[in-house]
Structure 1
Amino acid sequence: MAIEFETLGMPYNRAVPLGLEVDSWVLLEGLIPKQSKGFHVNFAYGQFRGADIPLKFELQFKRTPPASARSILSLNSFANQWGKEIRMETHLQQGQRFKLRFIVTSRGYKIMENSILLSEFEHRLSPKAVRFLEMDGEIKLEKVAFSWERNRETRNPRFGEG
């Protein structure tokens, strides 16, 4: 019996009305198709050209002989211009399921993949002003979750409820 997963369309955009706080996290789960050239995730202040981006996570697959693909992770931020890009090879591969968790710490972001520390990125801009999560690329996104969704009632109380 095959398990069918719902996929969320690309590009994917979601509001983050309260921003990100220390100890909050964002979870992304899905599948990287075998022919994927890559995908990116932006934590952005706005949905307009030139909006500040405290964290851009971009994964690219580069074909190198003999028919193997290297996965290159780049991390960066944008505040009127792009900052110094951090690049590294990673173990993420085409055709692989993934579970990425972006954890906000007082110093920066910890990026975990299936409980393995993939990378860290120091804050260049405040995560509190993040208002949108944006994703695009060749990926089958199946789940997006925020840490506060488990306690929605305490984080976003409704009027008249006590």
Structure 2
Amino acid sequence: MAIEFETFKMPYYRAIPLGLDPESWVMLEGFIPRQSKGFYVDFAYGQFLGASIPLRFQLSFEGLHSSSTAVIALNTFTEGHWGKPNRVAAHLRRGQRFQVQFIVTSKGYKIIENDIFLCDFDHQLSPKRIRFLEMDGDIILENITFSWESSTRSRRLL
């Protein structure tokens, strides 16, 4: 019997068939290469041009130096238009490992960066209708965990 491992090549696509409920979460882990310009994560209603995106997390670096400041823009795409982005300074750096967690609450998303609270982003669209996760950019994605997978693993270990 062969063991199949998920590959994390960019761009990365993953179905989320049941959407995201309050108290569910998604965790990304990986490495940001020294030459990275950044990356984005979309939680989308569909996998087609024009699909609504309740949450886009886009990290970009200002400048070329490895210690350049990282800026995160959070936004929503609906009815063919992007909203006004919320910008937040991030602590993520080029040449370092990262962990970003998106926790869904009844009010919005809590975003945690390397075990440190980064910010909140209020719901503009229902997370329950999210069906796809898309990522692309200059990162090495090593692991992605959804809360329901984590609880399944925990049950198996008991």
| Conservation of the 8 A alpha-carbon contact between 1:22 and 1:104 | yes
Q: Does 1:96 align with 2:105?
A: no
Which residue of 1 is the match for residue 34 of structure 2?
A: 34
Which residue of 1 is the match for residue 69 of structure 2?
A: 70
Ranges in structure 1 where 5+ consecutive residues have no aligned partner: 1-5, 154-162
Which residue of 1 is the match for residue 156 of structure 2?
A: none
1:67 and 1:142, CA in 2 relative to 1: closer, same or farther beyond 3 A? closer
Q: Post-superposition shift, 1:76?
A: 0.2
- What SS does structure 1 have at the residue aligned with 2:33? coil
Which residue of 2 is the match for residue 113 of structure 1?
A: 113
Which residue of 1 is the match for residue 86 of structure 2?
A: 86
Opposite residue 112 of structure 1, the aligned amino acid is I
| Conservation of the 8 A alpha-carbon contact between 2:33 and 2:139 | yes
RMSD: 1.8
- What SS does structure 1 have at the residue aligned with 2:69? strand
| Conservation of the 8 A alpha-carbon contact between 2:74 and 2:121 | yes
Which residue of 2 is the match for residue 51 of structure 1?
A: 51
Which residue of 2 is the match for residue 20 of structure 1?
A: 20
Opposite residue 123 of structure 2, the aligned amino acid is H
TM-score normalised by structure 1 residue count:
0.86
Identity of aligned residues (%): 59
- What SS does structure 1 have at the residue aligned with 2:18? coil
| Conservation of the 8 A alpha-carbon contact between 2:66 and 2:94 | no
In the TM superposition, what whole-angstrom CA distance separates every residue of 1:35-77 from its partner, at most 9, and x where no partner exists?
100000000000001000000000001117x774121110000
TM-score normalised by structure 2 residue count:
0.88
